[in-house]
Chain A
Amino acid sequence: MTMMATECLLQLCEQRYEIEDYQSAVPRWCTGCGDNAILASVQRLCRDEGLRPEKTVFVSGIGCSSRFPHYMRTYGFHGIHGRALPVAEGVRLARPDLTVFVNTGDGDCCSIGAAHWIHAIRYNMNITVFLHDNQIYGLTKMQASPTSPRGTKSNTTPRGSTLEALQPLSVTLGVQNVSFVAQAVDWIPESLYEVVKAAYHHQGFSFVRIVQRCPEWLPKIWDPWLHDPKRILMLDHPQGIRVSDGLKQVYRSTVAHDPSNIDRAREIASDTDSIPVGILYRNPAVPCYEELRATPGLRTIANLKQGLEAELDKFTFWPP
């Protein structure tokens, strides 16, 4: 027998998790809410990847989507409105050993949190972001959001919203340093899981827009796509996600799309008639901010003290 490395010893005592191990409180979302599908997919991902609950963090802002950390038996941070991304970035910098997910909504991310969103894309830190886009402010009982289609009647737009909806995919693809953009819909759980998995495995800022139904405030808004599979555009590619034969039989609008082609990705994202499902863009070569700013030395107390004293010495005056 020879000496085994640490990995072997850890594998001897490998723990397997079930979905129930990641379930914390019972979700209080409405029945029929698309958030339930997202929760199921993410819990399945955690189980299949063997993510250790004590090494996993879900960070959220405010909204129905942002209840997510309460329902995951992992570490979580339910933050303030629009600030999920900066908190998540701070977690990454302070604890690079943790796996960080962000759950944000169309209001939290695209309205009050828009500035953080743009720069988070630029930083390209290794975080997986799920945008739960139900095109409405649901938690606060039906106000128009930046992604609400023009004409949406809500409490704040009783005569219908006047602005064209913001397209989260187009915005993300237009920011420098973007490295991963994908989209899924909550009513096709197979492709939702594949997209979530691909986003997790990407090293960098993975942005996934999940088109999500709100059965309470906008119950019919996605019906034209829900009931007409031809309007779902399945993106198929060996470098992206392979669409299974079963899905191809139902969703006939399958197109081959190379995720390294950003121009084509932008074209696909701008189409409002169909909903593309799959990976629109992926570039693993974009460096992560953590790598760019990694310091070679250890941050020991002695080193920190030395650094502080060196800086303070520049300003110290001997008292007369």
Chain B
Amino acid sequence: MHAEVHPDAAAYVTGHQAAAAPGAPAAPALRPALFAAYRDLTRLRYDFPLVLRADAADGRVYEPLTALVERLIEGGAERAKALRIEGELRAAAAGGTGSLAALGKIEGELVDCDAALPARLLAHVWRAAQAEKAASFRRHVERLIVKLDDILRADRARSAAGRSAASLKASFGALHDQAFDFESMSRFLGTVSVQTALSDARRGRIGATLADLRAQRFYAAPGVEALDFRFDSCAAALQAFRARVPDMMRLAKAITLAELEVEGEFSSERHDALFERLAASGLDLRDLALFPDYLVCVRDAQVRGAEQDALLEILAGGLPMKILLQTDDLLGEPSGRAGHVPASAHSRQLAHMALGLNSVLVLQASAAQLGAQRERVLRAMRYPGASLLSVYSGAGGHAGALPPYLVAAAATESRAFPSFSYDPAAGADWASRFSLEGNPQAEHDWPLHEFAYEDADHQRVRVQVAFTLMDFAACDTRYAGHFAAAPSAGRGAARVPAAECVQREAKGVPDALPSLLMVDERNFVHHAIVDERLLREARRCNDAWRSLQELGGIRNSHAERLLARERQKWEQERAAAAPAPAPASAPAPAPGVATPAAAAAPAPGPAEAAPPPSSDEPYIETPRCSSCDECIQINNKMFAYDANKQARIVDARAGTYRQLVEAAESCQVAIIHPGKPKNPDEPGLEDLLQRAAAFP
């Protein structure tokens, strides 16, 4: 008996294809079927190229060329002409050239999706964010410099030198220098004693503070060369930061001192010792926010060893650094070892580690997503702590004719490089901080798209096609060995879409083999069998995606379990309650009727009077006193104001009963109650008691 191994099954299990027969035509170059419509991106309107705006007055630091052209058309530009120019610019940008001059007075540069895009784009946004910070810093520090200068100038003007005839003459200017007798003026001013001259210590302190403020090199100033804050290595950035800490502390101290001096709040006795103690232990985030942020652009391949240690130290320390971690090759070289496919990209591991630190802003996105994620990129640049932006450029150079934009977009679609953002400043919980925005159909394992083609019988066939990791791997020429071209439908082993096989763990050879729908250069449809190793990798990718979904609140297993438990409990309660009437709950008290519980409610307002004392004792309803002074005028030993300037009885025996009654009668708000007289021998008591009866 002679057993024959089916070639498709062999390809699935071993990953090896049967050798082509001699003389057979070469296997066509295939790409995923969903890419069929995207042969020439320059003929399509999509998110690229991007315009990096020089003027960002409306907050649009960068935007897609398409959006800019649409706005011009809405503003009255001729539609056909604008669209034609857009097409030309898109084609030029793809070739690395292109100027916005054709669109009118728009200042900026065009960038297409290539290997240089992430660094160029993020540097542009970083510069815009730093410009805002610099403007705010300059406004603040210049105000302090002006105020401190004013203090010194006022002191000079009050000094003997300032009141000399020569100084007075100079201050009047040339036009009126003959109109006054400055000698007499100086003598006259000299007779006025100046009690508010600055002490030498204070003058020296203000002078030193001014010098520190003027000499700062963190932001550009006239005559001062600013420090550089852009680096290509984490280690170099960290070293520079450490070297600058003493200067940062000096400047932060100078600013604090200046603010205290300007307010007139600085006191040597109180603050000198405090400033000495606040020395080299470091700056907290509020002080670091004063200074420019660093921008560090590194490639994934270079972040190893010492460079990786420096990166982790920056992130763990929350240093004000914006780190671009660019990945160009996501899948890596396929390993020669049997059964091994490279593990998840190193950059994805770093991003996930940064998530665990909780205080780092993490943004992961492919380059294709950067146009749509502008607000998140801006927030990352403005975040006061450390930000990690992990970007896949799609320009690894292994995708054949596929442009980097498509490869980057494929990485997002296939969940190989999903977009996510974690912004600690967005709220107190993960629901507020973590987002999976930017991922298509985030509630599914893979995004599904409709694909229509003509079959062998010339009939239109519509299928739902998922875009998986396997489709992404199919874009990489190095992974061609994981696919085997399958014969046309009806021949060979049974086939099933590869996406459906991901969650099925089959032992041995499955009944139906996983296949991908692909197209060749002529857009003819082919089926390709996917080998088991790639299927396993797709399974791992799917697991990682599901973990991210849970973090993002999609199909969160904790929430689902809690919901199931609550539903079960509710159903049990409903079942238990159904046969007998529900026990009657106590009726709510009618509005306005005080229940005993309500009457005992805590925190009485100021007007809620305590129960009145015995009617024999005089008393005042102090919270209702309108401070009119009537009773105080009658007897200020008997009546006095409390801390709120409302009257109280200090000593009822400090005056007569008559005074109590007169106070009650003259009180504007009738809050004095005279009570009963203490002295039975006081004259006119009968009449007084009659009058007091009106104030029970």
Contacts and interface: CB of A to CB of B under 8 A. Distances in A.
Interface in A172-199: 186-190, 192
A31 B628 contact: yes
B606 A4 contact: no
A189 B630 contact: no
Contact of B267 (A13, A19, A296): A13
Contacts of A298: 139, 142-143, 146
Interface string B656-684: 00000000001011000000000000000
A18 interface: yes
Interface string A23-52: 000010101111011011001100000000
Interface in A230-258: 244-247, 249-250
Contacts of B643: 18-19
Contacts of B146: 298, 300
Interface in B238-287: 249, 252-253, 256, 259-260, 263, 265, 267, 270-271, 274, 277-278, 281-284, 286-287
A189 B623 contact: yes
A298 B666 CA distance: 57
Contacts of B259: 6
Contact of A2 (B142, B281, B633): B281
B4 interface: no
B317 to A, nearest CB: 13
A215 B666 CA distance: 10
Nearest to A192: B626
B604 A3 contact: no
A213 B666 CA distance: 13
Contact of A31 (B139, B605, B629): B629
Contacts of A5: 256, 286-287
Contact of B633 (A9, A31, A187, A244): A31
Nearest to A297: B139
Interface string A74-88: 000000000000000
A246 B624 CA distance: 11
Contact of B284 (A3, A34, A249): A3
A1 interface: yes
B224 interface: no
B265 A27 contact: no
A40 B626 CA distance: 8
B605 A246 contact: yes
A158 B564 CA distance: 84
Nearest to B281: A1
A213 B627 CA distance: 13
A13 B253 CA distance: 18
B663 to A, nearest CB: 11
Contacts of B633: 31
A31 B630 contact: yes
B459 interface: no
Contacts of A215: 668
A315 B146 CA distance: 31
Contacts, number: 122
Contact of B627 (A1, A3, A6, A39): A39
A43 B645 contact: yes
Contacts of B249: 3
Contact of B624 (A33, A189, A213, A245): A189
A244 B606 contact: yes
A190 B605 contact: yes
Nearest to A242: B605
B563 interface: no
Given A13-B267, A40-B646, A298-B146, A3 B278 contact: yes
A27 B627 CA distance: 12
A49 to B, nearest CB: 14
B607 A247 contact: yes
Given A2-B282, A10-B265, A34 B606 contact: no
Contact of A9 (B271, B606, B609): B271
Interface residues of A, number: 42
Contacts of B282: 2-3
Given A19-B643, A189-B623, A246-B609, A13 B277 contact: no
A2 B283 contact: yes
Interface string B279-304: 00111101100000000000000000
A256 to B, nearest CB: 12
A34 B626 CA distance: 8
Nearest to A243: B605
A244 B607 contact: yes
B605 A2 contact: no
B142 A19 contact: no
A213 B668 contact: yes
Interface string B623-662: 1111111100100000000011110000000000000000
B608 interface: yes
Interface in B568-618: 601, 604-609
Contact of A244 (B142, B608, B625, B666): B608
Contacts of B281: 1-2
Contact of B626 (A12, A187, A246): A187
B135 to A, nearest CB: 9
A186 B644 contact: no
A281 B645 CA distance: 29
A159 to B, nearest CB: 30
Contacts of B277: 1
Nearest to A33: B628
Interface of B: 139, 142-143, 146, 249, 252-253, 256, 259-260, 263, 265, 267, 270-271, 274, 277-278, 281-284, 286-287, 601, 604-609, 623-630, 633, 643-646, 666, 668-669
30 contacts: A2-B278, A3-B282, A3-B287, A9-B265, A10-B263, A12-B274, A19-B644, A31-B629, A32-B628, A36-B629, A39-B627, A40-B645, A187-B626, A187-B668, A187-B669, A188-B624, A189-B623, A189-B626, A190-B606, A190-B624, A244-B605, A244-B607, A246-B604, A246-B606, A246-B607, A246-B608, A246-B609, A246-B623, A250-B607, A300-B146
Given A4-B278, A37-B627, 14 more contacts: A1-B281, A2-B282, A3-B278, A4-B256, A19-B643, A31-B630, A36-B627, A40-B644, A40-B645, A187-B668, A226-B669, A244-B608, A245-B605, A250-B607
